[in-house]
């Protein structure tokens, strides 16, 4: 029979993460130009 495995050594604790910097606000979008009217097509 095999002998039992040796226990693992405990892991070192992780270092805490640095906080994220806040995002800069987005610039507002420019308004869309109005669409041109469709041409009437006679069938």
CA distance 29 to 32: 9
pLDDT for 2-37, tens place per residue?
Answer: 889 999 999 999 999 999 999 999 999 999 999 988
Tell me the whole-structure pTM to 2 decimals. 0.25
Confidence (pLDDT) at 16: 97
């Amino acid at each position: 029979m095999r002998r039992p495995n040796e226990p693992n050594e405990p892991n070192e604790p992780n270092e805490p993460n640095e906080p994220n910097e806040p995002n800069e606000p987005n610039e507002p979008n420019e308004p869309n130009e109005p669409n041109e009217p469709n041409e009437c097509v006679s069938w």
